């Protein structure tokens, strides 16, 4: 006859077996999905394959990109999935988190940062030194700082590696005072060219993965991407909406 203690031990053991089986199943399905994606996207390696709250559907991340794949690895969904009860856009929420993880992977030490004295929010801006609206945004730096918004710059010279815009980005990075050099370059002044190890191509590769086509491209601190120039007061309002 089983005592209550014996039943409790039995129950815990059964739960442990079920949990292990579930873990193995998830691992097997993730491996199936990775193998399927490798056939059609051999140049990309998923950074994460995780089950979603929807039975049989997995969330796949490739850096900042997010897609959804069925557990058998046959069907891929690249679009909005909306929870009709909560009205949450599950896809966009996932993309925002993936963008932030990818940006964190770059590291703030590999950005040109203009930190607000009383920081309330931090935005990441993909910038091209020769882009007119990028220069307009930089001209408003005092307004962003006054609104408590720190600006972290990533370089995205749209004309590509080896172009004059690319060379200016490298010169800014290699300058003794990067913030001052960025301001000079965006005002049209020449920055003395120096060669050094720099993250410009890494910034550009991340921008490509994020699907950036124009600059400035602003990533808010909740991961939402906002294309184009946004003046300080409006940007502060957008950021506050993201908090609430």
**Tens of pLDDT, residues 180-195:** 999 999 999 999 888 8
How many beta carbons lie within 10 A of that of residue 149, not counting itself?
A: 23
78 is known as an active-site residue? no
> What local confidence, expressed as pLDDT, does residue 193 receive?
81
Q: How many residues does the chain have?
A: 244
202-212: b or e for each residue (b if 16 or more CB lie within 10 Å)?
ebbebbebbeb
48, two tokens = 């994460």
What share of residues in the chain are helix, strand, coil (percent, to 5)? 45, 20, 35
158 is known as an active-site residue? yes
Domains of the chain: 4-103 (3.10.450.70), 109-243 (3.40.30.10)
Active-site position among 128, 135, 174, 184: 128
Query: pLDDT class for 103, splitting at 50, 70, 90?
Result: very high
Q: Which has more confidence, 15 or 106?
A: 106
Q: What are phi and psi of 190, to 5 degrees?
A: -80, 140
pLDDT(13) > 60? no
Q: Cβ(168)–Cβ(178) under 8 Å?
A: no
Active-site position among 95, 99, 130, 131: 131
> What local confidence, expressed as pLDDT, does residue 192 receive?
87
Q: Which has more confidence, 226 or 12?
A: 226
Query: pLDDT class for 24, splitting at 50, 70, 90?
Result: very low
Query: pLDDT class for 16, splitting at 50, 70, 90?
Result: very low
> What local confidence, expressed as pLDDT, does residue 244 receive?
42
221 is known as an active-site residue? no
Q: Which has more confidence, 41 or 228?
A: 228
Mean pLDDT of 8-19: 41
> What local confidence, expressed as pLDDT, does residue 29 receive?
85
150-183: b or e for each residue (b if 16 or more CB lie within 10 Å)?
bbbbbbbbbeeeeeebbbbbbbbbbbeebeebbb
> What local confidence, expressed as pLDDT, does residue 145 receive?
97
Q: What is the DSSP string of 110-151?
A: GSEEE--TT-SEEEEEEE-TT-HHHHHHHHTHHHHHHTTEEE
95 is known as an active-site residue? no
Active-site position among 95, 152, 158, 184: 158
pLDDT digits (tens, 9 = 90+) for 26-51: 678 888 998 988 888 888 889 889 99
Mean pLDDT of 41-64: 90
Active-site position among 134, 152, 174, 184: 134
């Amino acid at each position: 006859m089983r005592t209550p203690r014996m039943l409790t031990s039995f129950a815990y053991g059964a739960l442990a077996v079920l949990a292990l089986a579930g873990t193995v199943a998830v691992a097997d399905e993730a491996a199936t999905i990775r193998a399927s994606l490798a056939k059609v996207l051999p140049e990309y390696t998923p950074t994460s394959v995780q089950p979603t709250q929807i039975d049989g559907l997995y969330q796949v991340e490739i850096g900042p990109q997010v897609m959804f794949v069925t557990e058998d690895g046959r069907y891929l969904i690249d679009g909005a999935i909306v929870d009709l009860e909560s009205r949450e856009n599950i896809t966009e929420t996932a993309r925002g988190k993936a963008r932030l993880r990818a940006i964190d992977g770059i590291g703030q030490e590999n950005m040109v940062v203009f930190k607000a004295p009383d920081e309330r929010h931090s935005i990441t801006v993909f910038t091209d030194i020769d882009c007119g609206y990028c220069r307009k945004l930089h001209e408003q730096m005092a307004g962003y700082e006054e609104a408590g918004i720190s600006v972290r710059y990533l370089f995205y010279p749209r004309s590509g590696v080896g172009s004059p815009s690319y060379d200016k980005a490298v010169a800014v990075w290699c300058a003794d005072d990067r913030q001052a050099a960025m301001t000079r370059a965006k005002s049209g002044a020449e920055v003395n060219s120096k060669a050094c190890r720099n993250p410009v191509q890494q910034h550009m590769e991340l921008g490509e993965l994020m699907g950036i086509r124009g600059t400035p491209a602003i990533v808010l601190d909740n991961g939402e991407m906002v294309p184009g120039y946004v003046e300080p007061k409006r940007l502060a309002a957008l950021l506050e909406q993201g908090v609430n």
